[in-house]
A and B are shown apart, each in its own frame.
Chain A
Amino acid sequence: MDITMPKWGMTMQEGVLLQWLVAVGDHVTEGQAVATVETEKVDAEIEAPASGLVAELLVDAGESVDVGTAIARLS
């Protein structure tokens, strides 16, 4: 399952991934914060949509990605 960049407001088209809070191989539980993201309004945390193993991080810290883009893969 992919973790995607959420859309937190009508103006939000992209977000800057500030920091990964998990690494490949970590086990995460549903709702756990996995990354912090900067938008024009707030800095906020992205939560894991399900429990699982972090298989891949698709975006580097500091990178800006569009809303809806997959940023990590859970297995």
Chain B
Amino acid sequence: MNATIERPTYFINAMKEGLHAAMAEDERVVVIGEDVDRSVIGATRGLSADFGRDRVRNTPISEATFVGACVGAAAVGLRPVVDLMVGSFFYVAMDQLADQAAKLRYMSGGQVDLPIVYFAATGPSGSGAAQHSENLHPMLMNVAGLKIVMPSTPYDAKGLMLSAIRDPNPVVYLQDFVLGGTKGNVPEAPYAIPLGVGDIKKHGTDVTVVAIGATVPKALKVARALEKDGISVEVLDPRTLVPLDKGLILESVGRTGRLVVVDSARLTCSAASEITAMVVENGFDTLKAAPQRVAWEDVPVPFSPPLEKRVLVQEPDILNAILKTLS
């Protein structure tokens, strides 16, 4: 996959390139959010210089209203892209997101398309504390009506951004904070990665590790270390959680017979729980060992570094889960 291209690009800038391409190809694409011209996270910085302040609009700090305004705007033909800045801020807009944006098309019997992208930087960033470290994907997977994108590499970040904006449905695009400053090779020309297609980041034969967002590089690190011990780990990144590439996951587990799911979210009702249940229901016969979930402790994310570390997924947790399936 584009291994030949040598163009190291920061994750944040890869997102921006996807945004830029979408804005260039369709003038109905507009970007709004709090301080999107300056962009504290960075994915929208500089867009106003190329596309003007009319298409790159700063909003007041009124998440519920601008999340909802995009529903009306999309229904009349705009293609809004919203920077929510930080994942937790979705909570402020939950009615408009979960009850309006997600449901209007369905409730109307399919009368309307709502091409909207809501993106935010999410997850723990290092002492961000409880209200700036949330990952909402498990909760939003349960809403019905929202597609959910969670890329783990700059290459995927760009291609998935373009697809998310082209999609005729509300898409929640979650950019893990800790990935924002990572680099990877990204082609300059625009390209799209379809939603609902997972990617095997490392092939292996002994155990499948499904990893989500920021846990992908951690899982890869553990997998490479285990290679030296003769344990062959396959690392699978679903890339989008809705729709979920169930086929790829089942196919992988069908080959390896073992499953570990790593999620950057609290364990209870996590994406890891859902994926594990899906595999147990549909691929039980192929399993050689009980699947393992690796996720956060069921507490808010604390501030102090040692406390935070205790709660979140660490590489030894992944390692131990893998070894458990092999024991």
Which of A11, A14, A67 lies in contact with B12, CB distance below 8 A? Answer: A11
Q: Let me know if B128 is at the binding interface, CB within 8 A.
A: yes
Taking residues whose C-beta sits less than 8 angstroms from the other chain, chain A's interface range is 10 to 19
Q: Let me know if A27 is at the binding interface, CB within 8 A.
A: no
Which of A9, A39, A67 lies in contact with B40, CB distance below 8 A? Answer: A9
A-B contact count (CB 8 A): 45
Evaluate whether A13 and B12 lie within 8 angstroms (CB atoms) in the complex, with A39-B181, A40-B181, A41-B42 already known.
Answer: no
Which of B13, B40, B121, B126 lies in contact with A13, CB distance below 8 A? Answer: B126
The docked-state distance in angstroms from the alpha carbon of A11 to that of B177 is: 5
Tell me which residues across on chain A come within 8 A of B181, comparing CB atoms. Answer: 11-14, 39-40
Q: Let me know if B90 is at the binding interface, CB within 8 A.
A: no
The docked-state distance in angstroms from the alpha carbon of A10 to that of B45 is: 15
The docked-state distance in angstroms from the alpha carbon of A67 to that of B180 is: 14
The docked-state distance in angstroms from the alpha carbon of A57 to that of B216 is: 33
The docked-state distance in angstroms from the alpha carbon of A11 to that of B10 is: 11
Tell me which residues across on chain A come within 8 A of B178, comparing CB atoms. Answer: 11, 13
Judge whether A40 and B13 touch: CB under 8 Å. Answer: yes
Residues 45 to 84 of chain B near chain A (Cβ within 8 Å): 45
Which of A7, A9, A14, A40 lies in contact with B11, CB distance below 8 A? Answer: A40
B179 to chain A, nearest CB (A): 8
B161 to chain A, nearest CB (A): 16
Judge whether A13 and B182 touch: CB under 8 Å. Answer: yes
The docked-state distance in angstroms from the alpha carbon of A71 to that of B12 is: 25
The docked-state distance in angstroms from the alpha carbon of A9 to that of B45 is: 14
The docked-state distance in angstroms from the alpha carbon of A12 to that of B177 is: 8
List residues of A whose CB falls within 8 A of some B CB: 7, 9-14, 39-41, 67
The 6 lowest CB-CB distance pairs between A and B, nearest first, are: A11-B180, A40-B10, A40-B181, A10-B125, A40-B12, A41-B42
List residues of B whose CB falls within 8 A of some A CB: 10-13, 40-42, 45, 86, 121, 125-126, 128, 132, 177-182
